[in-house]
Amino acid sequence: MTGTTPPSGGPTGPPADRVVRLGGGQGYYGDGYAGVAPLLDAGVDYLVCEALAELTLAILQKDRQRDESLGYTRDLPLYVAAALPYLVDGRTRFITNAGGINPIAAGRAVVDGLRAQGVRGLKVATVVGDDLRAHSGHLDLPDTTLFASVYLGATPIVEALDAGADIVITGRVADASLFLAPLVHEFGWAADDWDRRSAGVTVGHLLECSGQVCGGNYSGEWWTHGDFTDPGFPIAECRADGTAVITKPEGTGGLVSFDTVREQLMYEVHDPAAYLNPDVTADFTSVRLTEVGPDRVEVSDVRGRPAPATYKGLVCTPAGWSGEVRLAYGWPDAEAKARAGMRFLRRRADQLGVAVEEWHEEYFGVNALGGPTVDLASIDAAGREPAEVLARLVWRCDERAEAARLGREAGLLGLAGPPMVTPFGRTRDTGPSQLLALEAIAVERGLVDPGVRVAVEEV
């Protein structure tokens, strides 16, 4: 077996019964962190926090437009603080892609924060090289590009861990690769060991959404597994042969079962037989899930193929401005009132000459989440009208000032429109929001890899 470094178990490789425990501490920017402390108390070798999504990058771009020192997730210090006692005494290591579109600033913030607390001896690694704007000449990026990120794989994180990093902060590294990296580091899996690397990616995919694999968003009898005040976050007990057991800290809420694990396995998957990752192409149809005890599901038999020839890239450009109005109307005739209010606003746009490029209209209680609730929109199957309807009208304009004009007109509906109206939220006061367009592109690996760098700094 060959790899970037010798396996941690020595020249003959790690013992077959050795277990590396990964904890899934975050599923997105803004996730609650109540489940992190039980993970650390349970004794995870690595706390892995997956913070990014396409929407997250757009949010971070807006932060960076206001302040160039931002662009990383601002809840990063909370996770570092939670893990700090375990990092200092060597019980765990911390990996996150919370660096977003400004990993250098994120790394600097963590280092400065540790020094301010008097912490010494920890090594903080920062991974850079996912910013595609450095290659704009080769990629023909639009002149209006705000950010362009490429989804890196596990390799630079492995390099950071090999260098002794206690904390690894990256930008846009693929979700599952955050979890694959410590397994490659610990077990020395070869770069072309597609089955084991697919097993690591499968574990990462199962843990990347924190509490979801432990019964969050569960479509079964969710009400029988706790009241969500003490959430269970996932632990993967991983072995060198690629098998793993998914579990959670004892005494926490939720459930780990065949059903909760298979639901997460299929989450956000386009082709289960070819789950594309920067490190490998995993075949989820080969996966065997076996309940081996209460809240314990073994994952085995994962098969894989070589990684895609290209990386995924994401290019962000401006897409105008949106205005929004939300109004709630009560019975009787709740839906009719709501529709009349929205018609008024659209007609006012015509009267005022507001240049609206696109409209979006929906009615919660009638057709917003799952399509029309009944064949006849206003009356349910028992002949009853909705007791209340929340109307939402959104419009897109090219210019901010233009998008703001219509929002001011909603005030007329308070006293001069249909009765029983209640504003919902304060969208009229906050003003228009900038819209960002995101486009996925394929990027040649040879263009990206030479520019990926890992900087390790000891506090």
DSSP secondary structure string for all residues of 41-80: HH--SEEEE----HHHHHHHHHHHHH-TT--S-TTHHHHH
Token pair recorded at residue 285: 């149809």
Backbone angles phi, psi at 246, to 5 degrees: -90, 130
pLDDT at residue 367, as a whole number: 83
For each of the chain's 459 residues, which pLDDT tens digit applies? 223 333 444 445 677 789 999 999 999 999 998 999 999 999 999 999 999 999 999 999 999 999 999 999 999 999 999 999 999 999 999 999 999 999 999 999 999 999 999 999 999 999 999 999 999 889 999 999 999 999 999 999 999 999 999 999 999 999 999 999 999 999 999 999 999 999 999 999 999 999 999 999 999 999 988 888 889 999 999 999 999 999 999 999 999 999 999 999 999 999 999 999 999 999 999 999 999 999 999 999 999 999 999 999 999 999 999 999 999 999 999 999 999 999 999 999 999 999 999 999 999 988 877 666 544 455 555 566 889 999 999 999 999 999 999 988 999 999 999 999 988 776 555 789 999 999 999 999 999 999 999 999 999
d(CA 56, CA 35): 21
408 in helix, strand or coil? Answer: helix
Structure token digits, residue 137: 């000449």
d(CA 69, CA 63): 9
Print burial letters for 226-237: b (CB count within 10 Å at least 16), e (below 16): beeeebbbbbbb
User: Within a 10 A sphere around the Cβ of 131, how many other Cβ atoms?
Assistant: 19
Domains annotated on the chain, with CATH: 20-312+445-458 (no CATH), 315-438 (3.30.70)
Contacts 24+ apart (CB under 8 A), 425-430: 425/326, 427/323, 427/324, 427/325, 427/326, 428/325
Which of 249, 268, 245, 272 minimizes the C-alpha distance to 257? Answer: 245
CA geometry: angle 178, 184, 187, nearest 5 deg? 140
Q: Which pair of structure tokens corresponds to residue 331?
A: 């019975």
Predicted local distance difference test score (pLDDT) of residue 7: 43
Contact 302, 160 (CB under 8 A): no
d(CA 374, CA 367): 9
Asked if 205 and 178 count as a contact pair (C-beta separation under 8 A), the reply is no
The whole-number pLDDT of residue 370 equals 65
pTM for the model stands at 0.92
- Contacts within 8 Å (CB) and 24+ apart, 410-413: 410/325, 410/327, 410/345, 412/344, 412/348, 413/327, 413/341, 413/344, 413/345
CA distance 113 to 124: 12
Q: Cα(230)–Cα(427) distance, rounded to whole angstroms?
A: 33
